[in-house]
Amino acid sequence: MSSALDGEPVPPDLFASRRRRFLAGRGGVVASAVSGVVVIGGLAAVFWLAPGGATVRYFFFNPHFMWQAFVGDPSKGFYSVGLGLLTNLWIFAVAEALVLVCGMLIASARLSQSPVLLPFRLLSTAYTDVFRGIPILLVILMIGFGLPELNLGYVSNQSPAVYGCAALVVSYSAYVAEVYRAGVLSIPHGQLLASRSLGLSHGATMRRVILPQAVRTVIPPLLNDLISLQKDTALVSVLGAIETTRAAQIYSSTVFNFSGYAVAAILFLLLTIPMTRFTDHLIARDRARRLAGA
Amino acid sequence: MSEVVLELRDVRKRFKDHEVLTGVSLALSRHEVVCLIGSSGSGKSTLLRCANLLERIDGGDIELFGQSLLDPRVDPDRVRRHIGMVFQSFNLFPHLSVIDNILLGPVHALKRPRAEVRAEALELLGRIGLATRADDYPDRLSGGQQQRVAIVRSLAMRPSLLLLDEVTSALDPTLVGEVLDLLTDLARQGTTMLVATHEMGFARNVAHRVAFLEGGRVIEEGPAQEVLDHPREAATRAFLERVR
Ligand SMILES: Nc1ncnc2c1ncn2[C@@H]1O[C@H](COP(=O)(O)OP(=O)(O)O)[C@@H](O)[C@H]1O
Ligand SMILES: [Mg+2]
């Protein structure tokens, strides 16, 4: 009596290959250490030994010039790259707060149901389509050079940094609105049905059932957008606002050394890395929670 | 059996160009249990959702205690506070504890005092043997426990009738019994229920009447035993053959 599914009477060989066994045991630790040294050491060697290596180190990573760029010296015609970061920071802080609120308003308009709100629904849809489609740099240029031309008194008499900040808000609100909306739409329809069948209104359902669940799914993508907002404060430099990138640019064209750019890059990393780590931590925690639920 | 609680008259419902309900008529009296049977896709869920205005109907009329629900002055939220609904997939709110799931409707829709409703909710939970789980989150409960909590959640609204949509279909077979037992108890206590189900045993033993839905209409209805044992229509007979 044998069928196609009957196996051999004795399983032939159930052992993993020697290589697999080596990597699964202590060998794995050794292997990752060796590969780490080889890869990182290799990259360092290329950087150190390349024909132009010394030149690059001198022009981009010279500690003396880096420090000089960091502290700045207006008497010699260049600004502090370090102090420039304060401009990036306030632009980010203001833009972030406004983006989170505006994004929420736009998303609510798009998700509204009432016939009375139809015009807002159409406007908010058009808004997200338009501003997700235009490169941020263009929005910054149009607002930064357009509004002052309008001669609108207060509106036309702001500093470049303010226009840049406004442009970032305009652009990022469109992205963040879509993040919020996706979060709300990710909640199963049954949740809405269950809440409405209890006699809760649409508003109460949003407030007590949908949004509390949506917030959880929305936080990681939201943080991702805020990280890129942090970096994009550098774009405001095209309007002439003296922020970190602009200060580094001025330094390099005054002193003919690019080490200021390395300083600016390091400063941005110091800002963004804690946030990227935190975001990854939240994502991992969410994943663990989902795996535990399944 | 006299006072009519819910009456559907020639109800029609279409999705795009697919007419799902083509003229359903059905009445439910006080203390009555009616089982709605029919193959998958025959429109049972759609019918139940229309009955508590979760779907807008395209024709016919729905009356609750003799009052038309299509009257423009009717507030659907108020209607739904009198009609409990339980779903195949439980739909408990995962971010709220068991007790908060139960309190949500009475506190936020009926605006009743929290402490008062809480005492009632705990007493209801006690009746299904889950009083000690009040502060757990739904994902800590088995499917059968979750579905019983969902039933209690709708009972906490003190509804005039319950709509149940295949409430045991998503359950592990070993857990179906505890949910059907609870429904049987409710039926004994005189709860008015419209039950979409594939559980023919439950229909036979508990339902007063059975309605068979096909082609978007109720094509046969009558006392449970009669319809299930001596169906008049060939379609009903064919369906019962298939589910046996
Ligand atoms: N929201 C909807 N949009 C489009 N079609 C739907 C929708 N809900 C149900 N239907 C269709 O209506 C028919 C009846 O579905 P349903 O009421 O769920 O049947 P049952 O509960 O008896 O299985 C199916 O063909 C289904 O595809
Ligand atoms: Mg169904």
Please list, in sequence order, all residues whose beta carbon lies within 8 angstroms of the beta carbon of residue B14, skipping any fewer than 6 positions away: B20, B21, B58
- pLDDT of B76 reads 96
**Residue entry with tokens 């202590």:** A26
Contact A197/B154, CB-based, under 8 Å?
yes
- Best CA proximity match to A106, nearest among A116, A121, A95, A117: A121
Kindly state whether residues B119 and B70 are assigned to the same domain.
no
Rounded distance between C-alpha atoms, residue A176 and residue A227, angstroms: 12
Residues 6+ apart with CB under 8 A from A110: A121, A124, A125, A128, A177, A181
Packing angle, helices A81-111 and A244-255, rounded to 10: 150
A196:B110 CB<8 A: no
Instruction: Return the CATH number at B179.
Output: 3.40.50.300
Look at residues B110, B97, B115, B6 and name the one whose alpha carbon lies nearest to residue B52: B6
Question: Shortest CB distance from A199 goes to which of B78, B89, B93?
Answer: B78
Residues B122 and B66 in one domain: no
Q: What is the structure's pLDDT at A3? A: 58
pLDDT of residue B161: 97
Contact A238, A228 (CB under 8 A): no
Q: How far is the CA of B216 from the centre of ligand 1 (A)?
A: 11
Q: B165 and B184, same structural domain? A: yes
Residue B88 lies in a domain: no
Residues B215 and B228 in one domain: yes
| Residue from A197, A205, A210 whose CB has the most chain B CBs within 10 Å, to mutate | A197
Q: Of B134, B159, B184, at which residue does a domain stop?
A: B159
Look at residues B141, B137, B117 and name the one whose alpha carbon lies nearest to residue B129. Answer: B141
Mean pLDDT for B43-72 is: 96
CA distance readout (Å), A33 to A24, A42, A47, A264, B110? 14, 14, 21, 32, 64
On the question of pLDDT at B1 being above 60, the answer is: no
Residues B188 and B215 both lie in one domain: yes
CB distance from A209 to chain B under 8 Å?
Answer: yes
The pLDDT tens digits along chain A (294 residues) read 555 667 767 777 888 888 888 888 888 888 889 999 999 999 888 888 888 888 888 888 889 999 999 999 989 989 999 999 999 999 999 999 999 999 999 999 998 888 888 999 999 999 999 999 999 999 999 999 999 888 888 888 889 999 999 999 999 999 999 999 999 999 999 999 999 999 999 989 999 999 999 988 898 899 999 999 999 999 999 999 899 999 999 999 998 989 999 999 999 999 999 988 988 888 888 788 767 654
In angstroms, rounded to a whole number, what is the distance separating the alpha carbons of residues B76 and B68?
12
Q: What is the pLDDT of residue A289?
A: 74
Length of chain A: 294
Mapped onto helix, strand or coil, the DSSP state of residue A73 is: strand
Region B195-216: mean pLDDT is 96
Q: What local confidence, expressed as pLDDT, does residue A4 receive?
A: 62
pLDDT tens for B135-185 read 999 999 999 999 999 999 999 999 999 999 999 999 999 999 999 999 999
Model ipTM over 0.85 = yes
- Mean pLDDT of the region B63-87: 97
Kindly state whether residues B207 and B114 are assigned to the same domain. no
Task: Evaluate if residue B2 carries a pLDDT over 70.
Answer: no
Measured CA to CA, the distance from residue A178 to residue A228 in angstroms comes to: 15
**Domain shared by B196 and B171, yes or no:** yes
Q: Percent of chain B having pLDDT more than 70?
A: 99
In angstroms, what CA-CA distances link B186 with A46, B1, B33, B115, B239?
Answer: 78, 17, 10, 25, 28
B17 Cβ closer than 6 Å to some ligand 1 atom: no
Q: What is the mean pLDDT of residues B230-242?
A: 94
Task: List the domain range (segments joined by +) for residue B105.
Answer: 94-159
Residue B244 clears pLDDT 80, i.e. is over it? no
Tokens representing B140 are 């800590």
Residue whose CA lies nearest to ligand 1 atom number 16:
B43
Q: Are residue B123 and residue B236 in the same domain, yes or no?
A: no
Is position B127 within any domain? yes
How does pLDDT run across B110-143, given as a tens digit for each residue?
999 999 999 999 999 999 999 999 999 999 999 9
B34 vs A112, more confident: B34
Choosing from B127, B159, B191, the residue where a domain stops is: B159
Q: Is ligand 1 within 6 A of the CB of residue B46?
A: yes
Q: Between chains, do B93 and A193 touch, taking CB under 8 Å as contact?
A: no
Of A190, A194, A212, Cβ closest to residue B95: A212
- pTM score of the predicted model: 0.81
- B74 and B109, same domain (yes or no): no
**CB of B90 closer than 8 Å to CB of B147:** yes
With a 6 A CB cut-off, is B56 part of the ligand 1 pocket?
no
Burial of residue B22, with CB atoms counted within 10 A of its CB: 0-12 exposed, 13-18 middle, 19 or more buried? middle
Query: Which tens digit of pLDDT belongs to each residue from A81-117?
Result: 999 999 999 999 999 999 999 999 999 999 888 888 8
CATH number of A63-290: 1.10.3720.10
**A interface mutation test: which of B74, B79, B80 has the most A CBs within 10 A?**
B80
Tokens standing for residue A54: 């010394």
A190: nearest CB among B52, B83, B91: B91
**Are B166 and B228 found together in one domain?**
yes
- The pLDDT assigned to B126 comes to 96
> Do B67 and B164 lie in a common domain?
yes
Average pLDDT of chain B, as a whole number: 95
Tell me, yes or no, whether B56 lies in a domain: yes
Ligand nearest to the CA of B167: 2
Whether the CB-CB separation of A193 and B87 falls below 8 Å is answered with yes
- Number of domains chain B contains: 2
